[in-house]
């Protein structure tokens, strides 16, 4: 394990990866100002990640990590060189002398402060054992990446920055690091008036549509639900991915760990509607859904990182959303034993409309990592064969709160967060992991955006199979199909192991329901035909591209 620390007076400091650019300054500024009609002009100046450069940097740093050259290493995020040098120095209780004129740049006229604050991507700061400089440079030359020695570790406690022979800044490292002197604020916050209004929503105020096929078509082609392949296929996702274990569709991305029988499972989740409706519950749901995706892929949740996007922290109502989200994240991470390994906070994401500040929906995005101990037991989401039984694991409730169905189809913007019980969620996920481990299911996919119907559709698409299901007579049909109550996973079971599956589920005491069976390609709900998988797949795959191409 390599820590993000600097120690050993006289050890050289290197910056590796991409060259610094002014786009990194604009990106930092964009993240800290109001979004206005003029903001569209700023977008081209925001730093854009380069996945190919990132891949080279990751491979080079992994190779470097196998050597005995490194004292400490840290990637460059917010505040660029300023942040990485101060954090590494504070961690090692040392200082640094940095020559900014040695930092590789993409523009010849960059000022000292621009180099200090640039957030250009694909860069690392590395402290190297003295005498190992040539070995480090050789590795990065091999990968055709910048590698520049920009300074040296000092006794400290200050970091001194020079530019073309002139000292331009000197600062005590601890003063820039939380816990070492940087201010910690206890800000005012208050519950917004809308929160109590949302709690008044009554499902009976919504009439059930006469034709649920129309709702199904609407949701499967809605940009929030339709396939994101138009975006994800902008780059070739398989270039250089020799570590990939499978390209089968699953709830989490699966990456092989060479030389072992293990694999990694990774996912990113957040539904900002839920967080807006109830920040604490909504953020707990984001963590739980991430864990659910890891579980459905055959993994065990391990740790998270985050990207917390909120409005103006000086607005008490926006800050209330932030405080609630942190509470929800903490509660869920403790339950799933997933420590927060890092992350970032982006405030001031708001617009001014008619003289009033309007923040974006609070969006605490959760990135979760899981471990698959036996990569032969990974699980995909696709239906495998006609005749397999379809079961719903988890409780069925009469709930359409904050669903895409309620929000977009009916246009009801105010309702509570969807049904969520963390204890039920935790037990359900444990049951699903056991089913996968014991080889009792052939597919698993969580119920999330769009509800059960969208889950079934997504399981149908890969092999263009279908489903024939029966709804629960004690729950409204629209809620059963399109509600987004949490804590549910759809699985398929071979007829030959049905009895063993039933015994397992009864012993687990987790609610489950037989929905129906997999068909050759037709979709049926309560004996009503909903169409064919192959036809909906074309719509689902192309809806987003069609919208963005107009």
pLDDT tens per residue across span 63-94: 999 999 999 999 887 788 999 999 999 999 99
pLDDT tens across 179-198, in order?
666 677 788 999 999 999 99
100/115 Cα distance (integer angstroms):
7
As given in the structure block, the two tokens for residue 353 are 């409309």
- Confidence class of residue 41 from pLDDT cuts 50, 70 and 90? low
The single residue listed with the structure tokens 């460059």 is 76
Note the CATH architecture for domain 12-176: Alpha-Beta Complex (3.90)
Task: Indicate if the pLDDT at residue 200 is higher than 60.
Answer: yes
Q: Terminal CA-to-CA distance of the chain, rounded, Å? A: 49
| CA neighbor of 468 nearest in space, from 539, 389, 537, 394 | 389
Task: Indicate if the pLDDT at residue 485 is higher than 80.
Answer: yes
pLDDT, position 240:
53
pLDDT, position 161:
97
pLDDT, position 234:
75
Task: Indicate if the pLDDT at residue 279 is higher than 70.
Answer: yes
pLDDT, position 186:
83
Q: Are 102 and 68 in contact (CB under 8 A)?
A: no
pLDDT, position 203:
97
Q: What number is the average pLDDT over the span 97-107?
A: 93
Q: What number is the average pLDDT over the span 434-448?
A: 98
Task: Indicate if the pLDDT at residue 355 is higher than 90.
Answer: no
pLDDT, position 191:
97
**Does the domain made of 212-229+381-550 have the CATH classification 3.40.50.300?**
no
pLDDT tens across 159-171, in order?
999 999 999 999 9
Cα 127-133-136 angle, rounded to 5 deg = 80
SS3 annotation, 110-161: CCHHHHHHCCCCCEEEEEECCCCHHHHHHHHHHCCCEEEEEEEEECCCEEEE
**Does the domain made of 243-377 have the CATH classification 1.10.760.10?**
no
E strand spans, 293-394: 300-309, 340-346, 350-353, 356-359, 363-372, 389-393
Q: What is the mean pLDDT of the chain?
A: 91
406/223 Cα distance (integer angstroms):
15
- Confidence class of residue 44 from pLDDT cuts 50, 70 and 90? very low
As given in the structure block, the two tokens for residue 244 are 């990939």
pLDDT tens across 488-528, in order?
999 999 999 999 999 999 999 999 999 999 999 999 999 99
pLDDT, position 248:
82
How large a percentage of the chain has pLDDT more than 90? 77
Q: What is the DSSP string of 228-297?
A: -HHHHTTS-TTTT-TTB---S--SSEEEE-TTSS-EEEEEEE--HHHHHH-HHHHHHHHHHHHHHHHHHT
Q: Where are the domains of the chain?
A: 12-176, 212-229+381-550, 243-377
Q: 12-176 and 212-229+381-550: same fold?
A: yes
Weakest-pLDDT range from 174-183, 268-277, 421-430: 174-183
Q: Which helix (H) or strand (E) holds 468?
A: strand 466-469
Q: Can you say whether the dihedral through the CA atoms of 299, 304, 310, 313 is positive or negative?
A: positive
287/331 Cα distance (integer angstroms):
9
pLDDT, position 78:
78
E strand spans, 387-451: 389-393, 443-446
């Amino acid at each position: 394990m390599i820590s993000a620390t600097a120690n050993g007076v006289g050890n050289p400091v290197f910056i590796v990866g991409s060259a610094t650019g002014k786009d990194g300054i604009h990106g930092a500024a964009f993240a800290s100002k109001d979004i206005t009609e003029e903001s569209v002009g700023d977008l081209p100046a925001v730093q854009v990640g380069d996945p190919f450069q990132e891949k080279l940097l990751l491979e080079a740093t992994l190779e470097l990590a196998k050597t005995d050259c490194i004292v400490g290493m840290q990637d460059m995020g917010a505040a660029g060189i300023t942040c990485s040098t101060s954090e590494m120095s504070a961690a090692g209780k040392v200082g640094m002398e940095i020559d900014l004129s040695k930092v590789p740049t993409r523009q010849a006229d960059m000022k000292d402060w621009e180099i200090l604050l640039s957030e250009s991507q694909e860069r690392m700061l590395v402290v190297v054992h003295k005498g190992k400089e040539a070995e480090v440079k050789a590795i990065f030359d091999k990968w055709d990446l910048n590698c520049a020695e920009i300074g040296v570790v000092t006794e400290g406690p200050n970091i001194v920055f020079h530019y073309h022979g002139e000292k331009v800044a000197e600062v005590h490292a601890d003063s820039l690091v939380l816990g070492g002197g940087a201010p910690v604020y206890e800000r005012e916050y208050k519950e917004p008036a809308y929160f109590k209004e949302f709690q008044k929503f009554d499902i009976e105020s919504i009439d059930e549509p006469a034709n649920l096929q129309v709702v199904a078509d609407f949701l499967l082609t809605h940009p929030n639900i339709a396939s994101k392949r138009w975006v994800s296929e902008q780059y070739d996702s398989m270039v250089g991915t020799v570590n990939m274990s499978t390209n089968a569709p699953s709830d989490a991305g699966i990456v092989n760990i060479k030389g072992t029988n293990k694999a990694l499972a990774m996912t990113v989740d957040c539904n900002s509607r839920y967080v807006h409706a109830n920040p604490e519950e909504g953020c707990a749901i984001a963590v739980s859904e991430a864990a659910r995706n890891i579980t459905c892929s055959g993994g065990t949740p391990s740790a998270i990182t985050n990207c917390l996007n909120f409005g103006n922290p000086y607005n008490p109502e926006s800050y209330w959303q932030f405080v609630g989200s942190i509470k929800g994240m903490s509660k869920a991470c403790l339950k799933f034993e997933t420590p927060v390994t890092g992350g970032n906070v982006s405030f001031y994401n708001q617009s001014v409309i008619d003289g009033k500040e309007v923040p974006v929906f609070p969006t605490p995005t959760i990135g979760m990592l899981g471990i698959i101990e036996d990569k032969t037991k990974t699980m995909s989401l696709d239906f495998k064969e006609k005749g397999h039984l379809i079961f719903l694991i988890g409780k069925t409730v009469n709930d359409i709160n904050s669903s895409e169905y309620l929000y977009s189809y009916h246009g009801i913007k105010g309702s509570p967060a969807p049904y969520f019980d963390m204890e039920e969620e935790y037990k359900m996920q444990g049951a699903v992991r056991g089913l996968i481990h014991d080889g009792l299911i052939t597919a698993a996919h969580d119920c999330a955006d769009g509800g059960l119907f969208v889950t079934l559709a997504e399981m149908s698409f890969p092999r263009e199979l279908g489903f024939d299901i029966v709804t629960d007579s004690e729950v409204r049909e629209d809620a059963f199909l399109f509600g987004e109550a949490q804590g549910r996973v759809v699985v398929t079971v071979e007829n030959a192991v049905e009895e063993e599956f039933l015994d397992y589920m009864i012993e687990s005491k987790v609610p489950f329901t037989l929905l129906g069976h997999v068909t050759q390609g037709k979709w049926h709900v309560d004996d009503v035909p909903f169409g064919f998988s192959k036809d909906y797949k074309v719509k689902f795959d192309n809806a987003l591209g069609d919208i963005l191409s107009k």
